[in-house]
């Protein structure tokens, strides 16, 4: 069974837990996810099954949409509610909607982000959370990210007992963005410690949360019904033009051969092209400008 599943990951499980359970349900070890969701975050987690694991990276490159909540007035070591409080500062008044919008707008476009210590990024062969749990300091690598938009979804709420303010947001962002860190950075823009208090992924890999199916639902399906829940492998490659191979071209491609651009895409040269034969996606080829030819980037199905 090959294809891409829009899984609804519930809170309380890791993304790797979800992969493990899908291996049992689909009876294959070839299962991978396209973008980690923290245990305390729910929402869409695209899962690649069988030969679709070869296109995981292209799924990860797609944009994501989240909705959640940010509390101004305190910060934690994990940047969410799972960690110990490390800073507190009471608000003297609630921020206006305009002030919040202005700070959010400053956090859009191309940004440089420093990932949180409690994250799975590796530094010197070790996960950052390993350093954090042992109280060890390590220099974190700066990352380029892109935020399409960052906006409020409804009026914020001010707690005049705790002197804290809750902001409700939606964000559209690219690969590698830590929304927890975006929440903390919003607080810095406003001059107060902040924490991400709730998060749901609404869209990922071209799937919306309305399309996602839970693990519990999957366990009730037979093999035919499970197969019907999978999108074809080419779902991950829709941004690239496609070309149907002739039998002769297919013989070249099966052996990793090069292809001349004059025979693909009606002679139009593009950076990449998805190759099909007999109705199946077979490979993704990239254009080599120096040698004026298409060559393999990812072989997918040579059967």
Please identify every residue annotated as catalytic.
38
**Measured distance CA(71)–CA(167) in Å, rounded:** 6
Burial of 43 (0-12, 13-18, 19+ CB in 10 A): buried
DSSP-H helix ranges across 158-284: 179-190, 215-218, 223-228, 247-254
Distance CA 178, CA 133 (A): 19
CA distance 249 to 258: 9
Q: In 3D, which of 38, 166, 188 has the Cα closest to residue 94? A: 166
Cβ-contact 302, 284 below 8 angstroms: no
- Altogether, the residues listed in the chain come to a count of 303
Instruction: Calculate the dihedral angle through the C-alpha atoms of 50, 51, 52, 54, rounding to the nearest 10 degrees.
Output: 120
Cα 107 → chain centroid: 19
């Amino acid at each position: 069974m090959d294809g891409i599943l829009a899984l609804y990951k519930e809170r309380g499980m890791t993304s790797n837990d979800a992969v493990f359970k899908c291996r049992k349900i689909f009876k294959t070890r070839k299962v991978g996810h396209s973008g980690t969701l923290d245990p305390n975050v729910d929402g869409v987690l695209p899962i690649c099954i069988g030969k679709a694991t070869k296109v995981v990276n292209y799924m990860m490159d797609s944009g994501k949409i989240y909705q959640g909540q940010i509390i101004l007035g305190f910060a934690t070591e994990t940047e969410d509610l799972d960690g110990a409080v490390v800073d507190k500062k009471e608000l003297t008044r609630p921020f206006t909607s305009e002030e919040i919008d202005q700070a959010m707008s400053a956090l859009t476009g191309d940004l440089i982000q420093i990932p949180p210590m409690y994250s799975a990024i590796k530094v010197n062969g070790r996960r950052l959370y390993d350093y954090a749990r042992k109280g060890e300091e390590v220099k974190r690598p700066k990352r380029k990210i892109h935020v399409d938009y960052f906006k409020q979804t409804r009026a914020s709420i001010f707690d005049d007992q705790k002197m804290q303010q809750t902001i409700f947001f939606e964000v559209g962002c690219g690969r590698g963005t830590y929304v927890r860190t975006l929440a903390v950075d919003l607080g810095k823009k406003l001059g107060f410690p902040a924490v991400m208090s709730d998060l749901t992924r609404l869209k990922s890999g071209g799937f919306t949360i309305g399309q996602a199916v839970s693990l519990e639902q999957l366990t009730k399906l037979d093999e035919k019904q499970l197969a019907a829940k999978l999108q074809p492998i080419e779902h991950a490659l829709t941004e690239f033009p496609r070309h149907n191979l002739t039998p002769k071209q297919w013989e070249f491609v099966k052996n990793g051969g090069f292809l001349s651009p004059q025979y693909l895409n009606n002679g139009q040269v593009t950076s990449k092209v998805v190759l099909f034969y007999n109705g199946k996606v077979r490979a993704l080829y990239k254009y080599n400008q120096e040698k004026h030819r298409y060559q393999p980037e990812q072989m997918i199905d040579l059967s």
